[in-house]
Amino acid sequence: MITTNSEVKAKFLRGFSDKTRLQILESLRESEKTVSQIVETLKGNQSNISQHLACLKGCGIIIGRQEGKYIYYSLRNEEIKQLLDLMQSVFVNVELEVAACEKNDELDCCQSNKEDVANESGGR
Amino acid sequence: MITTNSEVKAKFLRGFSDKTRLQILESLRESEKTVSQIVETLKGNQSNISQHLACLKGCGIIIGRQEGKYIYYSLRNEEIKQLLDLMQSVFVNVELEVAACEKNDELDCCQSNKEDVANESGGR
DNA sequence: AATATATATTAGCAAACACTAATGTGATCT
DNA sequence: AGATCACATTAGTGTTTGCTAATATATATT
């Protein structure tokens, strides 16, 4: 009888399901940063980063505090950091396991890149 | 120096970022199940569930074993279960925190449902 | 007040996603 | 062999997402 609203929970977790957002979170792991620091670190587009930050904030994963013209973003709390750590370690193990046990050496979620894979058959 | 390939990691985590998939995972938490058992539990569409199972399997989150004409799916390992647990508890706390500290009582990730929210102002 | 800096917001677009209905495949049973 | 059951796959469609470029807002500086 766990059953929280799966829809809202999915929205929360969607915050972690993007490459750029994961990079942002990783860069915030050590310390809070301003938007421009993040943009510089990731060598990303300002607008793009800003949107991802809004996403992460909306998901409750990070918080922002204003200081003059800067806005410092940081992970919401210690728990989020723990979650990131566990995600990381579980991921690494799964990756190894998948690579070891199956011919498939790349995680392939959902009905994505079918033709892509077919086309670049000579890859890597 | 954490830096795993964020792209692959994002694919892995995307497995958790959908309502239906979360429900499937929740139903697998207790014990392995056949596709039809899951379909019945979630009162879902067979094709849809089957696709989500393929997704979860591709992400390395679940595994399947065949037994006669049935295929039993289960969580890949204990770690995945732990991750689900932590996701759950972090989510619940964040949800409470967000609900308590801000006027916004619903997590709203990314640039989604702006007009929806505006329209159904009398919702819930 | 004018300008510069830091960040957010908007619009537009292509790609990815989730869903349904229909069809395919493989195992079991008669 | 033919029918049935369990599951997977394909095709089609509308929605959501992530990106870029352009514009807006707010704070700071001169």
pLDDT digits (tens, 9 = 90+) for A11-39: 999 999 999 999 999 999 999 999 999 99
pTM assigned to the model? 0.87
B72-CA/D7-C1' distance, Å: 11
**pLDDT band at residue B120 using 50, 70 and 90 as cut-offs:** very low
CA–CA gap between residue A29 and residue B67 (Å, rounded): 45
The reported pLDDT for the residue numbered A38 is 98
b/e code B50-74 from CB counts within 10 Å (16+ = b):
eebbbbbbbbbbbbeeeeeeebbbb
Arithmetic mean of pLDDT, B63-92: 97
Burial bucket for residue B119 (CB in 10 Å: 0-12, 13-18, 19+): exposed
The reported pLDDT for the residue numbered B110 is 67
CA–CA gap between residue A61 and residue A44 (Å, rounded): 20
Q: Which residue of B has its CA nearest to A55?
A: B110
Q: For residue B67, how many C-alpha atoms fall within 13 Å in the half-sphere facing its CB?
A: 8
Structure confidence by residue, pLDDT tens digits, B13-64: 999 999 999 999 999 999 999 999 999 999 999 999 999 999 999 999 999 9
Compare A12 and A120 and report the one with higher pLDDT: A12
Amino acid at A20: T
> Are A109 and B58 in contact (CB < 8 Å)?
yes
Using the C1' atom of nucleotide C27, identify the protein residue whose alpha carbon is closest.
Answer: B69
E strand residue ranges, B1-124: 33-34, 62-67, 70-75
SS3 A54: helix
The reported pLDDT for the residue numbered A6 is 92
Arithmetic mean of pLDDT, B3-22: 92
Using the C1' atom of nucleotide C26, identify the protein residue whose alpha carbon is closest.
Answer: B69
Identify the weakest region by mean pLDDT among A38-47, B58-67, B97-106. B97-106
pLDDT beyond 70 at A40? yes
CA–CA gap between residue B41 and residue B104 (Å, rounded): 32
CA B24 to the chain's CA centroid: 7
The reported pLDDT for the residue numbered B23 is 98
**pLDDT band at residue A102 using 50, 70 and 90 as cut-offs:** low
Find and list the nucleotides of strand D having atoms within 7 Å of a protein beta carbon.
Answer: 5-11, 16-23, 26-28
The reported pLDDT for the residue numbered A100 is 76
Going B43 to B49 to B52 to B54, the CA torsion angle's sign is positive
Nearest-CB residue to A18 (from B10, B54, B80): B10
Structure confidence by residue, pLDDT tens digits, A53-85: 999 999 999 999 999 999 999 999 999 999 999
Compare A7 and B117 and report the one with higher pLDDT: A7
With beta carbons less than 8 A apart as the criterion, state whether A53 and A64 touch.
yes
CA–CA gap between residue A19 and residue A36 (Å, rounded): 18
Chain B CB contacts of A59 below 8 Å: 107, 109-110
pLDDT beyond 70 at B68? yes
Nearest-CB residue to A94 (from B2, B60, B107): B60
